[in-house]
Structure 1
Amino acid sequence: MIRGVRGATTVQENDEKQIIKATAAMLEEMVSKNNIEPEDVVQVLISATPDLTKTFPAKALRLFRDDWTYVPVMCMQELAIESGLSKCIRVMLTARTDLSQKNIHHVYHGQAMKLRPDLKEEHQ
Protein backbone atom coordinates (compact mmCIF):
# COMPACT_ATOMS: atom_id res chain seq x y z
CA MET A 1 0.00 0.00 0.00
CA ILE A 2 1.16 3.55 -0.71
CA ARG A 3 0.69 6.02 2.19
CA GLY A 4 1.50 9.66 2.80
CA VAL A 5 3.38 10.67 5.92
CA ARG A 6 3.08 14.32 6.91
CA GLY A 7 5.56 16.37 8.85
CA ALA A 8 6.03 20.02 9.72
CA THR A 9 8.44 22.01 11.81
CA THR A 10 9.39 25.61 12.48
CA VAL A 11 12.62 27.49 13.07
CA GLN A 12 13.32 30.63 15.07
CA GLU A 13 15.46 32.34 12.43
CA ASN A 14 16.01 32.26 8.67
CA ASP A 15 19.31 30.49 9.25
CA GLU A 16 20.81 27.66 7.17
CA LYS A 17 21.94 25.60 10.17
CA GLN A 18 18.57 25.92 11.91
CA ILE A 19 16.66 24.98 8.76
CA ILE A 20 18.80 21.89 8.15
CA LYS A 21 18.81 20.79 11.80
CA ALA A 22 15.04 21.17 12.24
CA THR A 23 14.27 19.47 8.93
CA ALA A 24 16.64 16.58 9.66
CA ALA A 25 15.12 16.02 13.13
CA MET A 26 11.60 15.96 11.67
CA LEU A 27 12.58 13.59 8.83
CA GLU A 28 14.47 11.27 11.18
CA GLU A 29 11.39 10.92 13.39
CA MET A 30 9.08 10.44 10.39
CA VAL A 31 11.29 7.65 9.05
CA SER A 32 11.97 5.90 12.36
CA LYS A 33 8.40 6.02 13.72
CA ASN A 34 7.00 4.63 10.47
CA ASN A 35 9.79 2.11 9.74
CA ILE A 36 10.51 3.63 6.33
CA GLU A 37 13.42 2.45 4.21
CA PRO A 38 14.76 4.50 1.28
CA GLU A 39 13.76 1.78 -1.23
CA ASP A 40 10.14 2.14 -0.09
CA VAL A 41 9.97 5.90 -0.68
CA VAL A 42 8.06 7.02 -3.76
CA GLN A 43 8.79 10.75 -3.34
CA VAL A 44 9.40 13.50 -0.80
CA LEU A 45 7.80 16.92 -1.30
CA ILE A 46 9.12 19.70 0.93
CA SER A 47 7.72 23.21 1.15
CA ALA A 48 8.97 26.23 3.06
CA THR A 49 7.25 29.50 3.83
CA PRO A 50 8.46 32.53 1.84
CA ASP A 51 10.41 33.85 4.85
CA LEU A 52 12.87 30.93 4.69
CA THR A 53 15.46 31.74 2.04
CA LYS A 54 18.88 30.70 3.38
CA THR A 55 18.90 27.11 2.10
CA PHE A 56 16.84 24.34 0.58
CA PRO A 57 15.29 22.28 3.40
CA ALA A 58 15.75 19.21 1.16
CA LYS A 59 19.48 19.54 1.77
CA ALA A 60 18.82 17.99 5.20
CA LEU A 61 17.54 14.80 3.59
CA ARG A 62 20.75 14.29 1.62
CA LEU A 63 22.90 15.00 4.67
CA PHE A 64 20.94 12.89 7.09
CA ARG A 65 21.71 9.50 5.52
CA ASP A 66 23.92 8.30 2.69
CA ASP A 67 21.35 5.74 1.53
CA TRP A 68 18.86 8.47 0.51
CA THR A 69 20.88 9.48 -2.57
CA TYR A 70 18.36 8.17 -5.10
CA VAL A 71 15.15 9.18 -3.33
CA PRO A 72 13.28 11.74 -5.49
CA VAL A 73 12.90 15.03 -3.61
CA MET A 74 11.33 18.33 -4.61
CA CYS A 75 11.36 21.66 -2.76
CA MET A 76 8.79 24.36 -3.28
CA GLN A 77 7.49 27.52 -1.68
CA GLU A 78 4.48 27.31 0.61
CA LEU A 79 1.54 29.62 -0.05
CA ALA A 80 1.88 33.04 1.61
CA ILE A 81 -1.36 33.06 3.63
CA GLU A 82 -1.83 36.10 5.89
CA SER A 83 -2.78 34.03 8.95
CA GLY A 84 -0.34 31.22 8.12
CA LEU A 85 2.46 29.94 10.30
CA SER A 86 5.77 31.68 9.65
CA LYS A 87 9.20 30.06 9.31
CA CYS A 88 7.58 26.71 8.65
CA ILE A 89 8.83 23.69 6.72
CA ARG A 90 6.31 21.06 5.64
CA VAL A 91 6.94 17.56 4.28
CA MET A 92 4.81 15.03 2.44
CA LEU A 93 6.69 11.75 2.24
CA THR A 94 4.99 9.08 0.13
CA ALA A 95 6.09 5.49 0.71
CA ARG A 96 5.10 1.85 0.48
CA THR A 97 4.09 0.52 3.89
CA ASP A 98 1.97 -2.13 5.55
CA LEU A 99 0.75 0.37 8.15
CA SER A 100 -2.92 1.31 8.08
CA GLN A 101 -3.69 4.98 7.57
CA LYS A 102 -4.70 5.44 11.21
CA ASN A 103 -1.36 3.93 12.32
CA ILE A 104 0.82 6.32 10.32
CA HIS A 105 2.77 8.57 12.69
CA HIS A 106 2.69 12.15 11.39
CA VAL A 107 5.34 14.42 12.92
CA TYR A 108 4.84 18.02 14.03
CA HIS A 109 7.62 19.88 15.85
CA GLY A 110 7.81 23.36 17.35
CA GLN A 111 5.08 25.83 16.46
CA ALA A 112 3.93 23.48 13.68
CA MET A 113 2.10 21.43 16.33
CA LYS A 114 -0.61 24.11 15.98
CA LEU A 115 -1.31 22.85 12.46
CA ARG A 116 -2.77 19.54 13.68
CA PRO A 117 -4.01 19.85 17.27
CA ASP A 118 -6.14 16.76 16.66
CA LEU A 119 -2.93 14.71 16.57
CA LYS A 120 -1.54 16.17 19.78
CA GLU A 121 -1.65 12.85 21.67
CA GLU A 122 0.87 11.41 19.20
CA HIS A 123 3.43 14.02 20.25
CA GLN A 124 3.41 13.49 23.98
Structure 2
Amino acid sequence: MSPPYIAPLRAVRGAITLDTDSPKAMAEAVGELVGSLMRQNHIDAADIVSAFFTVTADITQANPATAIRLVRPDWQHVPMLCSQEPQIQGGLELCVRVLLQWY
Protein backbone atom coordinates (compact mmCIF):
# COMPACT_ATOMS: atom_id res chain seq x y z
CA MET A 1 0.00 0.00 0.00
CA SER A 2 1.44 3.37 -0.96
CA PRO A 3 1.29 6.30 1.45
CA PRO A 4 -1.40 8.92 0.80
CA TYR A 5 -0.47 11.80 -1.46
CA ILE A 6 0.05 15.05 0.40
CA ALA A 7 -0.06 18.17 -1.74
CA PRO A 8 2.90 20.50 -1.24
CA LEU A 9 2.30 23.78 0.52
CA ARG A 10 3.03 26.64 -1.87
CA ALA A 11 3.42 30.37 -1.37
CA VAL A 12 3.57 33.44 -3.56
CA ARG A 13 3.99 37.09 -2.75
CA GLY A 14 2.91 40.23 -4.49
CA ALA A 15 2.50 43.97 -3.99
CA ILE A 16 0.49 46.86 -5.34
CA THR A 17 0.22 50.56 -4.62
CA LEU A 18 -3.01 52.47 -4.09
CA ASP A 19 -3.90 55.60 -6.04
CA THR A 20 -5.26 57.15 -2.85
CA ASP A 21 -5.90 56.13 0.75
CA SER A 22 -9.58 55.20 0.55
CA PRO A 23 -11.74 52.10 1.02
CA LYS A 24 -12.62 52.14 -2.70
CA ALA A 25 -8.97 52.31 -3.76
CA MET A 26 -8.11 49.50 -1.33
CA ALA A 27 -10.89 47.25 -2.67
CA GLU A 28 -9.86 47.86 -6.28
CA ALA A 29 -6.16 47.33 -5.59
CA VAL A 30 -6.39 44.15 -3.51
CA GLY A 31 -8.97 42.72 -5.92
CA GLU A 32 -6.52 43.29 -8.77
CA LEU A 33 -3.52 41.99 -6.78
CA VAL A 34 -5.18 38.82 -5.53
CA GLY A 35 -6.92 38.13 -8.85
CA SER A 36 -3.63 38.43 -10.70
CA LEU A 37 -1.78 36.12 -8.30
CA MET A 38 -4.57 33.54 -8.49
CA ARG A 39 -4.68 33.59 -12.30
CA GLN A 40 -0.92 33.49 -12.80
CA ASN A 41 -0.46 30.64 -10.31
CA HIS A 42 -3.68 28.70 -11.09
CA ILE A 43 -4.92 29.02 -7.50
CA ASP A 44 -8.46 28.04 -6.58
CA ALA A 45 -9.86 29.98 -3.61
CA ALA A 46 -10.88 26.70 -1.93
CA ASP A 47 -7.19 25.68 -1.79
CA ILE A 48 -5.98 28.82 -0.01
CA VAL A 49 -4.57 28.15 3.45
CA SER A 50 -3.98 31.75 4.55
CA ALA A 51 -3.08 35.26 3.46
CA PHE A 52 -0.82 37.70 5.30
CA PHE A 53 -1.13 41.34 4.25
CA THR A 54 1.11 44.26 5.15
CA VAL A 55 0.43 47.92 4.54
CA THR A 56 2.60 51.01 4.72
CA ALA A 57 1.96 53.47 7.55
CA ASP A 58 0.27 55.99 5.26
CA ILE A 59 -2.68 53.62 4.70
CA THR A 60 -5.23 54.42 7.41
CA GLN A 61 -8.69 54.26 5.78
CA ALA A 62 -9.14 50.53 5.07
CA ASN A 63 -7.48 47.21 5.66
CA PRO A 64 -6.91 44.69 2.88
CA ALA A 65 -8.55 41.73 4.63
CA THR A 66 -11.84 43.57 4.94
CA ALA A 67 -11.57 44.85 1.37
CA ILE A 68 -10.86 41.45 -0.19
CA ARG A 69 -13.87 39.91 1.56
CA LEU A 70 -16.04 42.58 -0.06
CA VAL A 71 -14.77 42.01 -3.61
CA ARG A 72 -14.10 38.25 -3.48
CA PRO A 73 -17.00 36.33 -1.90
CA ASP A 74 -15.02 33.11 -2.49
CA TRP A 75 -12.51 34.34 0.15
CA GLN A 76 -14.97 34.23 3.08
CA HIS A 77 -13.28 31.10 4.47
CA VAL A 78 -9.67 32.35 4.13
CA PRO A 79 -7.86 33.15 7.39
CA MET A 80 -6.13 36.51 7.01
CA LEU A 81 -3.84 38.70 9.06
CA CYS A 82 -2.83 42.32 8.45
CA SER A 83 0.17 44.20 9.78
CA GLN A 84 1.83 47.57 9.31
CA GLU A 85 5.26 47.55 7.71
CA PRO A 86 8.22 49.30 9.33
CA GLN A 87 8.60 52.89 8.20
CA ILE A 88 11.60 52.91 5.88
CA GLN A 89 12.94 56.19 4.56
CA GLY A 90 12.48 56.28 0.80
CA GLY A 91 10.15 53.26 0.79
CA LEU A 92 7.08 52.90 -1.40
CA GLU A 93 4.03 54.88 -0.35
CA LEU A 94 0.48 53.53 -0.17
CA CYS A 95 1.77 49.99 -0.68
CA VAL A 96 -0.05 46.73 0.10
CA ARG A 97 1.87 43.46 0.10
CA VAL A 98 0.54 39.93 0.45
CA LEU A 99 1.98 36.48 1.15
CA LEU A 100 -0.52 33.88 -0.05
CA GLN A 101 -0.25 30.20 0.92
CA TRP A 102 -2.19 27.37 -0.71
CA TYR A 103 -2.22 23.63 -1.34
Q: TM-score range by the shorter chain?
A: 0.7 to 0.9
Instruction: Give the corresponding residue for 1:13.
Output: 20
| Superposition deviation, residue 39 in structure 1 | 2.4
Unaligned runs of 5+ in 1: 97-124
Instruction: Give the corresponding residue for 2:67.
Output: 60
Normalising by structure 2, what TM-score? Answer: 0.86
In 2, Cα distance between equivalents of 1:19 and 1:49: 12
Instruction: Give the corresponding residue for 2:46.
Output: 39
Instruction: Give the corresponding residue for 2:10.
Output: 3
CA deviation map 1:78-110 (0-9, x unaligned): 1111121111000000111xxxxxxxxxxxxxx
Q: Which amino acid aligns with 2:95?
A: C
| Superposition deviation, residue 63 in structure 1 | 1.9
Instruction: Give the corresponding residue for 2:34.
Output: 27
Instruction: Give the corresponding residue for 1:85.
Output: 92
Give identity over the alignment, percent.
Answer: 36
Q: Which amino acid aligns with 1:70?
A: H
SS at match of 1:62: helix
Question: Highest CA radius of gyration, 1 or 2?
Answer: 2
* Change beyond 3 A, Cα 1:26–1:41: same
- Is the helix fraction higher in 1 or 2? 1
CA deviation map 1:24-75 (0-9, x unaligned): 1111111111111122111100010000000111123212222211110111
Normalising by structure 1, what TM-score? Answer: 0.72
RMSD, aligned α-carbons: 1.2
Q: Which amino acid aligns with 1:18?
A: A
In 2, Cα distance between equivalents of 1:81 and 1:63: 30
